[in-house]
Amino acid sequence: MATTSSPPSSPTTSAVPQAPGRGSGHERGTPGYRRLGAAMWCAGLATFVLVYCVQGLLPTLASQFGLSSSTSSLALSATTGALAIAVVPLSTLAESWGRVRVMTIALATAAVLGVLAPLAPNFPTLVGIRALQGVAIAALPALAMSHMTREVAPRWLGSAIGLMIAGNTLGGLSGRLIAGAVADVAGWRIGLGVIGVLSIICTVAFRLVLPPAVAEAPPRVRFRELTPLTFVHLRDPGLLCLFGVGFLVMGAFVTVYNYLGFRLLAAPFDLPAQLVGLIFLGYIAGTWASTSAGRLGDRIGRRKVMWGATLVGVLGAWVTVPDNLIAVLAGLLLVTVGFFGAHSLASSWVGRRATLLPGGSPGVASSLYLCAYYLGSSIGGAVGGIAYDGAGWFGVAVYVSGLLVAALGLALWLRRLPSPQAVAPAAVVPDPGVLRGVAGDAVTG
């Protein structure tokens, strides 16, 4: 694996971090790095408590409105599907309008819609509000990844993205647990209302904590430039593989969490709803996996860690098959660790590869990755419901493991692809300073 620069120094031997100057990135350990991490945690909380708060309520919604398990999942699929459709144009154009400004507006709008969602008189109206939330949120995840890519020193990017995803994980976990716990006491409408208020609080905290930007503002992107800019990234086979990985692993993951509650409420488990809601504590393993995978990928190579993470997910899918609660929970943890490990690596890899791509943009690449990722949630989760309704949990295991094996195939294919820098004309080879920050597997990724 050839590279034009030496690998970055080990974190344990690097000099004491210095405050970044204009155009440089925050080094780990500086006040700016800590504030940026805290702000992105708040953004992740605000976003993902809203997106996933209904997942733990799907059995309740199915009972309340007389729906099948696959139909009730539309309360989640509507949000992720709308997000996927809107994420590319909104996040790409919004970066030119100011990342911080747009992230703040997106969070505030989604939070207000979250307060309105409990007032929905019927299920179609609830689905419509949830879809509008998806559009409001659409610009935020890609802008957050792009903001981290530009604001953090390149050698710490894997760890920083992992930390941000850990915040997203905590948001997803909090939304599911809080909405479920409140719904058990006061009904699903109050549960959703509490989530909306929590998201407003997190939005205010995000804006107060976020440090001033140190990177130069990106050039303004006009709407007519969006299509050719998008195709620059869609022509790169490495990025296409990474987009496919995001689609497949997310489809597998959301299927498991969407329908495991239905299984545990039914025979032979017959668990009470209060206990079933606690399965989302498995997300704590995802918090650990996302940060650990990012650091391990920076150290030994993202490809190897991604292969291992995907295989862990496949193993977990089959461990959940027996009608044994301990086996189900162990398998759920393995699926969670595998998903978050693979997602953390793929999402950080996308930004780095786009940096090396001639004419590439981390913001556009991140938005395309998230488009694929949330399409995986929307489409993959809906098809998973058909598998569950038709063949029970065994059908879910077959479906989930098939998606993960396909993701593993794409991850293996990545090793056969040259780096963008290796095939780029000399005039567009990135600055050596950039290459130093993405040395090792990043140069071939």
Whichever domain contains 276, its CATH number is 1.20.1250.20
Low-confidence residues of the chain: pLDDT under 70: 1-24, 92-96, 142, 158, 216-225, 419-445
CA dist 138 and 85 (Å) reads 8
> Is 12 domain-assigned?
no
Q: For the segment 165-190, what is each residue's pLDDT rounded down to a tens digit?
A: 777 777 778 888 899 899 989 999 99
CA atoms within 13 A on the CB side of 125: 9
> Is 350 domain-assigned?
yes
Q: Looking at residue 222, what is its pLDDT?
A: 66
Partners of residue 26 on adjacent β-strands: 152
> Is 2 domain-assigned?
no
CA dist 445 and 439 (Å) reads 10
Q: Looking at residue 7, what is its pLDDT?
A: 32
> Is 83 domain-assigned?
yes
Q: Looking at residue 424, what is its pLDDT?
A: 47
> Is 5 domain-assigned?
no
> Is 26 domain-assigned?
no
How many domains does the structure of the chain reveal?
A: 1
CB environment 248-258: b (16+ within 10 A), e (fewer)? bbbbbbbbbbb
Q: Looking at residue 50, what is its pLDDT?
A: 94
Q: For the segment 112-146, what is each residue's pLDDT rounded down to a tens digit?
A: 999 999 999 999 999 999 999 999 988 787 678 77
Containing domain of residue 64, as a range?
Answer: 31-214+226-444
Q: For the segment 276-320, what is each residue's pLDDT rounded down to a tens digit?
A: 988 988 878 877 887 788 778 777 877 888 999 999 999 999 999
> Is 18 domain-assigned?
no
> Is 426 domain-assigned?
yes
